[in-house]
Amino acid sequence: MTEYVVLSAILFTIGCVGVLTRRNALVVFMCVELMLNACNLAFVAFARQHGNLDGQIAAFFVMVVAAAEVVIGLAIIMTIFRTRRSASVDDASLLKY
Amino acid sequence: MTFWILAPIMVAAALGILFVRKAVHAALLLAVVMISIAFLYAVMDAPFLFAVQIIVYTGAILMLFLFVMMLIGVDASDSKVETIRGQRVMATVVGLVFGLVLVLGISQVTFGTVVGLDEANTGGNVPAIANILFSKYVFAFEATSALLITAVLGAMVLAHRERLTPKATQASLAAQRLRDYAEHGKHPGPLPSPGVYARHNAVDTPALLPDGTAAESSVSRVLAARGTVRSAPALADDIVDVRRQIGDPSTMPETSGKSGAPANTEEDEK
């Protein structure tokens, strides 16, 4: 049980560091997906720990939300790329000025 | 047992996402992580989530990532310029501390005995999930449908592009071609096809003009820019090799040519 949660924590941390260090919007997005997956792993592990299926339902809903989020996020990345010809998160900084 | 095989693979692949330069490689490593997570679900008595993980995450979401990567260019790699000084180092340090705190904190906790899902899964995992999903979580389920509809609408609005110029019709294209011919002398017909020779009819071999020079417009400009265009006269040297391969007697030594031919006919008769 502990090992599953530890693995989930490690994957979540790697996703976190990826979001903070990578500059390509697509890779940043992939790291967000990695964090969501790590949470799902913890959910399913805890469902088995407690002997009811609520954790699996939660993981299922996370997957649904992740799918919707990916569709919108990738559409936004494409729109930004179309106007600015760049997929780097540093280039979309107009709100700063 | 499955866990101890998959966990190192997953951590290695996840770390790889941090270090690979190309986004495509990151997507493939993410696929490794996701499929491994699917197998962990199967181990943890969640066959439904195992299928959903493979179909939705590896099948749909990662393919979407690859599609978008194809549209915005595969070589869109990271810039090494830091907008905030020392941000990368700081982020790594903070991430390490965060991970250390999480792992140490979790290892302090005693979780007690694992109850297991054998009782909850008695009628099968999928019917059991359906029972809860359509009773206890039915409102969340309904809200999900609104979320998905909104996502579809949002994607359509974001990906839609308003046409600024009228669409070119066939008639206007033909008129434009003839106007180019009248003004600049540009040939109005289609481009010449690449050369077709005895051994080479690939697109990288230019056709020859009547005076023996290569017709540059018969080869794609991309190939010309890469410098992989082959020249037709150079290919003529291959003819000796071809003759040798097909056993042409004019290039072969006299003795082997004579002894080889009867041997073949004997084999054919057997």
Alpha helix locations (H) across A51-97?
54-84
Could B154 and A87 be called an inter-chain contact, meaning their C-beta atoms sit closer than 8 Å? no
pLDDT at B162: 82
pLDDT at B269: 41
pLDDT at B49: 92
**Which domains occur in chain B, in start order?**
1-75 (1.20.120.1200), 192-252 (no CATH)
The one-letter amino acid code at B122 reads T
Could B115 and A7 be called an inter-chain contact, meaning their C-beta atoms sit closer than 8 Å? no
Q: Which tens digit of pLDDT belongs to each residue from B193-219?
A: 888 887 777 888 888 888 878 888 888
pLDDT at B74: 61
Gap from B160 CA to chain A (nearest CA, Å) = 9
pLDDT at B258: 43
* CB nearest B26 (choices: A30, A78, A93): A30
User: What residues does each domain of chain A span?
Assistant: 2-96
Please tell me if residue B116 touches chain A, with a CB cutoff of 8 Å: yes
Cα–Cα dist B252/B19, whole Å? 58
* Mean pLDDT, residues A48-62: 90
pLDDT at B252: 52
Q: Percent of chain A having pLDDT more than 70?
A: 100
Least confident range from A76-80, B137-141, B200-204: namely B200-204
Least confident range from B9-18, B137-146, B157-166: namely B157-166
pLDDT at B256: 44
Which residues of chain B are within 8 Å of residue A17 when distances are taken between CB atoms? 18, 91-92, 95-96
Q: How confident is the model at residue B175 (pLDDT cuts 50, 70, 90)?
A: very high
CATH code that applies to domain A2-96: 1.10.287.3510
Please tell me if residue A84 touches chain B, with a CB cutoff of 8 Å: no
Could B48 and A56 be called an inter-chain contact, meaning their C-beta atoms sit closer than 8 Å? yes
Please tell me if residue B203 touches chain A, with a CB cutoff of 8 Å: no
- The alpha carbon of residue B185 and the mean position of all alpha carbons in its chain are separated, in whole angstroms, by 42
Q: Percent of chain B having pLDDT more than 90?
A: 37
Neighbours of A65 (CB within 10 A): 15
* Mean pLDDT, residues B246-255: 60
pLDDT at B75: 59
* Mean pLDDT, residues B45-63: 91
Question: In the predicted model, is pLDDT for residue A6 greater than 60?
Answer: yes
DSSP structure class, residue A76: H
DSSP structure class, residue A91: T
A81's tokens = 């790329």
Gap from B116 CA to chain A (nearest CA, Å) = 5
A–B CB contacts, 8 A cutoff, strictly below: 229
Residue B253, class by beta-carbon neighbours within 10 Å (0-12 exposed, 13-18 middle, 19+ buried)? Answer: exposed
| Cα separation values, B172 from A57, B140, B169, B179, Å | 58, 54, 5, 10
pLDDT at B37: 94
- Return contacts of B66-75, CB within 8 angstroms, 24+ apart: B66/B24, B66/B27, B68/A26, B68/A74, B68/A77, B68/A78, B69/A26, B69/B23, B69/B24, B69/B27, B71/A78, B71/A81, B72/A26, B72/A77, B72/A78, B72/A81, B72/A87, B73/A87, B74/B22, B74/B23, B74/B24, B75/B22
* Mean pLDDT, residues A5-32: 91
Q: How confident is the model at residue B76 (pLDDT cuts 50, 70, 90)?
A: low
CB-based contact B253:B260 (threshold 8 Å): no
Question: In the predicted model, is pLDDT for residue B254 greater than 50?
Answer: no
| Substitution target from B45, B68, B121 for chain A, most A beta carbons within 10 A | B68
Question: In the predicted model, is pLDDT for residue B110 greater than 70?
Answer: yes
Q: Percent of chain B having pLDDT more than 70?
A: 86
**Average pLDDT score over chain B:** 83
Q: What is the ipTM of this complex?
A: 0.92
Q: Which tens digit of pLDDT belongs to each residue from B82-103?
A: 777 788 889 999 999 999 999 9
CB-based contact B62:B27 (threshold 8 Å): yes
Could B150 and A13 be called an inter-chain contact, meaning their C-beta atoms sit closer than 8 Å? no
DSSP structure class, residue A95: G
Gap from A45 CA to chain B (nearest CA, Å) = 7
Gap from A80 CA to chain B (nearest CA, Å) = 10
Could A9 and B53 be called an inter-chain contact, meaning their C-beta atoms sit closer than 8 Å? no
